[in-house]
């Protein structure tokens, strides 16, 4: 058989695709696939680079093993830089390594992201821990296969001994991967709610009620950082279940805390979180844009404002619209901050870079004639690792700013 003919279980990729992998990335887009014959959804395949033309022809190079998706634009997600013999063993090792990483770097909490997909070299798998409950999300065909699920679940049970494992489902992701519709629910155990702690603050986790995401664990270290600076009257916009607001109210440096969100179920949990910590927060169900405009027009003033909106830029195409949204929020917030006040400006859009967000805050500062100093340029908590070479693993920005 000629060396470059299609071999079973082998996917040949373009030079551009191979270069991306050599740069440390782990994705190959469908447009860089040259040959993938009869490959089943979610199969583990051997990846090789294209055979160069010329005389004598250069032989192709094996680049490693990857999970194949028949439907996603991300056709290949690399799992190892050499061919994998025993996939189950590899996955078990990776799970144990992910847990060991958290044991080493995560402090002051019994809730954190235990496995973060590509950032833990387990593409398509996310596992969050809320004290004794694990919340699992499957994002790819490969991870959704019955044998892979069994390996993952049994290893998690063995290592972490959770009271229950819940599966969260993102119907949009399942449609994109052409996976069968599925309801979220219990995989093991019966417990679906619990209480967890971070930074000495208590929170409720409702795995099957309310909203589907649990807490925003990626902000955990930022909650602790922001309480160092905040004081006086604080406003937490897009507060969800009160991550920032409850930390601020508990910190005692803030005299009064208001949390605003448009989701009633999120605010119901927020109220219970406040009660659990024996603190008072005023919760307002409103559109944050409308409320900011009204409050700014009415001349309301605050000493600390937190802006943590949902991802406005879902793709590079709507970056400009997204930046207009961030600008408006930051401008109103700056207008409402007293001199010496703290602005916490977050963005969880991967497509909005730190420089984009800083530029937007500067534009808002110039328009509102305020001077802004950067106290901290922060990102996501360490349980959401950022891998150099896989830019998408870093997505959260959290700027802590002093406004005069
Ligand atoms: N700061 C939160 C996370 C915020 S997530 C934490 O640390 O836990 C974004 C939140 O914005 C969600 O709770 C969502 O309900 C809310 N949201 C989305 N659009 C909104 C709007 N226009 N006005 C107010 N809240 C909004």
What pLDDT is recorded for position 213?
A: 59
- Tokens of residue 195, six digits: 């209480």
Q: What is the mean pLDDT of residues 380-401?
A: 98
How many Cβ atoms sit within 10 Å of the Cβ of residue 317?
10
Position 38 pLDDT exceeds 60: yes
What pLDDT is recorded for position 52?
A: 67
**Spatial separation of the C-alpha atoms in residues 397 and 360, rounded to whole Å:** 13
Helix (H, G, I), strand (E, B) or coil at 90: helix
**Spatial separation of the C-alpha atoms in residues 233 and 293, rounded to whole Å:** 18
**Spatial separation of the C-alpha atoms in residues 35 and 144, rounded to whole Å:** 24
Range scoring the smallest mean pLDDT among 3-7, 10-14, 138-142, 337-341: 3-7
Host H or E run for residue 360: helix 354-367
CA 226 to ligand 1 centroid distance, Å? 18
Ligand 1 mutation target, pool 113, 261, 281, 396, most atoms within 8 A of CB: 261
* 3 — pLDDT class (breaks 50, 70, 90): very low
For residue 306, what are the contacts with CB-CB under 8 A and spacing of at least 6?
Answer: 226, 234, 235, 236, 237, 239, 244, 245, 248, 344, 346
Residue 298 to residues 94, 247, 337: CA-CA distances in angstroms? 54, 27, 13
CA 348 to ligand 1 centroid distance, Å? 11
Instruction: Pick the residue whose CA is nearest to atom 16 on ligand 1.
Output: 238
- Please choose, from the candidates 205, 214, 277, the residue with its C-alpha nearest in 3D space to the C-alpha of residue 247: 277
CA 64 to ligand 1 centroid distance, Å? 41
Host H or E run for residue 324: helix 319-336
How many Cβ atoms sit within 10 Å of the Cβ of residue 338?
14
What pLDDT is recorded for position 334?
A: 98
How many Cβ atoms sit within 10 Å of the Cβ of residue 335?
19
CA 311 to ligand 1 centroid distance, Å? 10
Q: What is the mean pLDDT of residues 133-140?
A: 97
Is residue 249 a contact partner of residue 255, using CB atoms and an 8 Å limit? no
Owner of token pair 């949902």: 310
Query: Does any ligand 1 atom lie closer than 6 A to the CB of residue 42?
Result: no
Q: Which residues are catalytic?
A: 348
What pLDDT is recorded for position 6?
A: 56
Position 124 pLDDT exceeds 90: yes
Is residue 197 a contact partner of residue 109, using CB atoms and an 8 Å limit? yes
* 55 — pLDDT class (breaks 50, 70, 90): low
What pLDDT is recorded for position 4?
A: 46
Task: Using the atom order of ligand 1, give the atom closest to the CA of residue 219.
Answer: 7
Quick: pLDDT tens for 306-349.
999 999 878 888 999 999 999 999 999 999 999 999 999 999 99
What pLDDT is recorded for position 51?
A: 74
* pTM tops 0.85, yes or no: yes
Position 15 pLDDT exceeds 50: yes
* 381 — pLDDT class (breaks 50, 70, 90): very high
What pLDDT is recorded for position 7?
A: 65
Q: What is the mean pLDDT of residues 261-278?
A: 96
Query: Does any ligand 1 atom lie closer than 6 A to the CB of residue 243?
Result: yes
CA 241 to ligand 1 centroid distance, Å? 9
Quick: pLDDT tens for 167-183.
999 999 999 999 999 98
What pLDDT is recorded for position 316?
A: 85
- Tokens of residue 322, six digits: 């997204």
Share of residues in the chain with pLDDT > 70 (%): 95
- Please choose, from the candidates 134, 131, 98, 93, the residue with its C-alpha nearest in 3D space to the C-alpha of residue 117: 98
What pLDDT is recorded for position 212?
A: 53
Ligand 1 mutation target, pool 212, 249, 262, 311, most atoms within 8 A of CB: 262
Owner of token pair 């395949």: 45
Q: Cα-flanking dihedrals φ and ψ of residue 258, to 5°?
A: -120, 135
Q: What is the mean pLDDT of residues 364-370?
A: 98
Instruction: Pick the residue whose CA is nearest to atom 15 on ligand 1.
Output: 263
Query: Does any ligand 1 atom lie closer than 6 A to the CB of residue 238?
Result: yes
**Spatial separation of the C-alpha atoms in residues 218 and 229, rounded to whole Å:** 19
Task: Using the atom order of ligand 1, give the atom closest to the CA of residue 287.
Answer: 23
Range scoring the smallest mean pLDDT among 157-161, 212-216, 278-282: 212-216
**Spatial separation of the C-alpha atoms in residues 13 and 25, rounded to whole Å:** 14
Position 102 pLDDT exceeds 60: yes
Number of helices (H), then strands (E), belonging to the chain: the values are 11, 20
Q: Are strands 33-35 and 74-80 parallel, antiparallel or unpaired?
A: unpaired
Q: What is the dihedral of CA 230, 235, 237, 239, to 10 degrees?
A: 70
CA 46 to ligand 1 centroid distance, Å? 42
Query: Does any ligand 1 atom lie closer than 6 A to the CB of residue 117?
Result: no
Instruction: Pick the residue whose CA is nearest to atom 12 on ligand 1.
Output: 240
For residue 81, what are the contacts with CB-CB under 8 A and spacing of at least 6?
Answer: 63, 64
Position 356 pLDDT exceeds 90: yes
pLDDT, the chain, mean: 94
Query: Does any ligand 1 atom lie closer than 6 A to the CB of residue 216?
Result: yes
Query: Does any ligand 1 atom lie closer than 6 A to the CB of residue 219?
Result: yes
Q: Label residue 141 left, alpha or beta by phi (over 0 means left) and psi (-120 to 50 means alpha).
A: alpha
What pLDDT is recorded for position 1?
A: 41
- Please choose, from the candidates 251, 262, 325, the residue with its C-alpha nearest in 3D space to the C-alpha of residue 288: 262
- Tokens of residue 346, six digits: 């977050």
Range scoring the smallest mean pLDDT among 44-53, 102-111, 157-166: 44-53
């Amino acid at each position: 058989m000629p060396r470059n003919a299609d071999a079973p279980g082998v996917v040949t990729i373009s030079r551009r695709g191979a270069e991306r992998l050599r740069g440390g990335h782990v994705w190959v887009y469908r447009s860089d696939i040259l040959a993938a014959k009869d490959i089943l959804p979610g199969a583990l395949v051997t990846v090789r680079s294209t055979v160069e033309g010329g005389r004598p022809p250069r032989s192709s190079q094996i680049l490693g093993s990857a999970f194949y998706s028949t439907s996603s634009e991300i056709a290949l997600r690399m799992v190892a830089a050499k061919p994998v013999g025993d996939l189950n063993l590899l996955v078990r090792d990776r799970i144990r390594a992910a847990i060991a990483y958290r044991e080493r770097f995560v402090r002051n909490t019994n809730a954190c992201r235990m496995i973060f997909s590509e950032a833990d070299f387990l593409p398509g798998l996310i596992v969050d821990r809320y004290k004794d409950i694990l919340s699992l999300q499957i994002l790819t065909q490969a991870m959704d296969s019955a044998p892979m699920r069994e390996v993952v679940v049994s290893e998690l049970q063995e290592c972490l001994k959770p009271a229950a494992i819940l599966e969260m489902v993102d119907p949009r992701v399942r449609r994109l991967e052409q996976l069968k519709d599925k309801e979220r629910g219990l995989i093991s155990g019966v417990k679906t709610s619990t209480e967890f702690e971070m930074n000495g603050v208590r929170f409720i986790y409702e795995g099957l009620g309310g909203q589907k995401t649990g807490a925003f664990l990626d902000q955990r270290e930022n909650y602790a950082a922001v309480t160092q600076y905040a004081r006086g009257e604080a406003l937490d916009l897009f507060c969800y279940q009160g991550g920032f607001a409850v930390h601020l109210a508990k910190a005692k440096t803030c005299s009064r805390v208001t949390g605003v969100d448009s989701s009633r179920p999120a605010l119901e949990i927020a109220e219970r979180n406040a009660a659990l910590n024996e603190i008072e927060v005023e919760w307002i169900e409103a559109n944050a844009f409308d409320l900011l405009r009204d409050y700014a027009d009415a001349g309301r003033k605050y000493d600390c404002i937190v802006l943590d909106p949902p991802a406005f830029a879902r793709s590079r195409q709507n970056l400009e619209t997204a930046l207009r949204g961030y600008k408006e929020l930051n401008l109103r917030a700056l207008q409402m901050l007293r001199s010496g006040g703290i602005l916490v400006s977050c963005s969880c859009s991967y497509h909005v870079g730190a420089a984009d967000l800083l530029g937007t805050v500067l534009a808002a500062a110039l328009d509102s004639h305020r001077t802004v100093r950067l106290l901290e340029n922060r990102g996501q908590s360490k349980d959401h690792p950022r891998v150099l070479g896989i830019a998408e693993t870093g997505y959260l920005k959290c700027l802590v700013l002093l406004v005069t």
